[in-house]
């Protein structure tokens, strides 16, 4: 169509008028073309112009043990474009970043990765990691101190652990376009690792009604400091649990009523359903993004999903669930029977909580318009 406008058309009458009209159309066409080009070159320009923001959430990332030997961006497989394609990408860091090798306490598994692992995070565009979990202190206060230092050096936001209770409870603050986000990170694991007034540790918070007031106060303070969207990242519950208990669902509803806009749940190694409560998403358990764990053939802890959340302004309007599979120390999009397993499990469990889910190709979509 633009080529037709550009042809020098000759008409026997009003030749000059026609040429002037064509010139004005060409100028208008070029103006729109360059405007679109400018926004496209900005990557998120058109979406930002429309007030649209995209966040990607994943569950546990464990890059220690055998994964620590690889030290390669190849661990992200064909998901790098999904992880890098969002305005912000958020996951749970299920290991300590340290060269210190003295294990702390008595437990079955200890996870750590060398300091260079932050480059693997960066290669996937990971902007934020949750630290309130049951592995960040596997190598004690030294391992935690190192983790905080190397994350800060790599400019990766984090929350949920710190040099004292105040630091551990402090939300991470992130910006995407005009959206100011606060992320609170909690865990109901490892009560003995709770940060004290003058001692390092995690933000331990039991899942019970009396804990809601704590989240309400932190959320309100974050909003006073400029946050327009509050996320609760919760490393909660037991392993291999397929459905959130009534206690967990009641807690999730209560913290949303207390000021939280989205709940990012992880810890159990397998997928649980998605609930929409008063227009706010609750990802109860997202499974594991990447690790070196043995696979339970029934529970399928090698299968999980990423959630791509689209907001317009401060309102979530769409969720896309992208199925993933871990194989040979690499994560990729799940296909075939693996994708069917994830998507059908997620669809069924979400529907049980009243969430309308639609399958489109190799992913699920939830519309909140």
Model pLDDT, residue 369: 75
Measured at the alpha carbon of residue 286, what is the angle toward residues 164 and 138, in degrees to the nearest 5? Answer: 35
Residue pair 188/236 in contact by the 8 Å Cβ criterion: yes
pLDDT band with cut points at 50, 70 and 90 for residue 172: very high
pLDDT band with cut points at 50, 70 and 90 for residue 44: very low
Average the pLDDT over 334-356 and give the result.
Answer: 98
**pLDDT of 38 above 60:** no
Residues with Cβ within 8 Å of 341's Cβ and at least 6 positions away in sequence, in order, are: 300, 303, 334
**pLDDT of 336 above 90:** yes
**pLDDT of 280 above 60:** yes
Model pLDDT, residue 177: 86
Each domain of the chain, given as residue ranges in start order, spans 2-41, 50-367
pLDDT tens-digit map of 97-109: 999 999 999 999 9
The structure's pTM equals: 0.87
Model pLDDT, residue 22: 38
**pLDDT of 341 above 50:** yes
Model pLDDT, residue 347: 97
Model pLDDT, residue 46: 44
C-alpha 137/C-alpha 265 separation (Å) is: 20
Angle between the N-to-C axes of helices 246-257 and 212-224, in degrees from 0 to 180, rounded to the nearest 10? 30
pLDDT band with cut points at 50, 70 and 90 for residue 71: confident
Average pLDDT, the chain: 90
**pLDDT of 223 above 60:** yes
50-367 maps to CATH 3.60.21.10: yes
CA count, 13 A, side-chain hemisphere, 185: 31
pLDDT band with cut points at 50, 70 and 90 for residue 231: very high
pLDDT band with cut points at 50, 70 and 90 for residue 75: very high
Residue position matching structure tokens 């000059």: 16
Average the pLDDT over 45-55 and give the result.
Answer: 68
Q: Which residues pair with 173 in a beta bridge?
A: 182
pLDDT band with cut points at 50, 70 and 90 for residue 50: low
pLDDT tens-digit map of 124-158: 999 999 999 999 999 999 999 999 999 999 999 99
Average the pLDDT over 155-169 and give the result.
Answer: 98
**pLDDT of 344 above 50:** yes
In the numeric block, which tokens belong to residue 65? Answer: 């043990």
In the numeric block, which tokens belong to residue 102? Answer: 């003295």
Nearest to 333, CA basis, from 341, 323, 343: 323
pLDDT tens-digit map of 318-333: 999 999 999 999 999 9
DSSP state of 73: G
pLDDT band with cut points at 50, 70 and 90 for residue 356: very high
Model pLDDT, residue 18: 39
Higher pLDDT, 186 or 36: 186
């Amino acid at each position: 169509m633009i080529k037709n406008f550009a042809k020098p058309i000759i008409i026997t009458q009003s030749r000059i008028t026609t040429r002037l009209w064509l010139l004005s159309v060409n100028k208008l066409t070029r103006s729109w073309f360059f405007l679109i080009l400018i926004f496209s070159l900005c990557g998120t320009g058109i979406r930002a112009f429309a007030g649209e923001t995209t966040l990607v959430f994943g569950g546990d990332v464990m890059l220690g043990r055998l994964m620590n030997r690889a030290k390669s961006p190849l661990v992200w497989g064909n998901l790098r474009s999904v992880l890098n394609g969002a305005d912000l990408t958020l996951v749970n860091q299920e290991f300590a970043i340290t060269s210190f090798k003295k294990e702390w306490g008595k437990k079955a598994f200890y996870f750590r990765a060398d300091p260079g692992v932050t480059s693997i995070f960066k290669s996937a565009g990971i902007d934020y990691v949750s630290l309130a979990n049951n592995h960040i202190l596997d190598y004690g206060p030294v391992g935690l101190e190192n983790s905080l230092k190397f994350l800060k050096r790599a400019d990766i936001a984090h929350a949920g652990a710190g040099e004292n209770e105040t630091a551990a409870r402090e939300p991470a603050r992130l910006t995407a376009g005009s959206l100011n986000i606060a992320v609170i990170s909690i865990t109901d694991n490892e009560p003995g690792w709770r940060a004290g007034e003058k001692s390092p540790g995690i933000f331990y918070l039991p899942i019970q009604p009396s804990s809601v007031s704590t989240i309400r106060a932190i959320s309100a303070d974050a909003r006073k400091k400029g946050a327009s969207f509050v996320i609760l990242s919760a490393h909660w519950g037991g392993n291999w649990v397929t459905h959130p208990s009534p206690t967990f669902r009641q807690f999730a509803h209560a913290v949303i009523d207390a000021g939280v806009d989205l709940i990012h749940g992880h810890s159990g190694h397998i997928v649980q359903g998605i609930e929409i409560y008063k227009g706010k998403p609750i990802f109860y358990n997202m499974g594991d993004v990447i690790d070196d764990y043995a696979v339970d053939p029934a529970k399928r802890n090698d299968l999980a999903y990423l959630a791509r959340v689209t907001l317009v302004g401060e309102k979530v309007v769409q969720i896309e669930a992208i199925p993933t599979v871990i194989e040979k120390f690499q994560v990729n999009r799940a296909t075939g029977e693996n994708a069917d397993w994830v998507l059908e499990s997620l669809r069924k469990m979400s529907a049980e909580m009243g969430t309308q889910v639609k399958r489109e190709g190799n992913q699920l979509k939830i519309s909140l318009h």
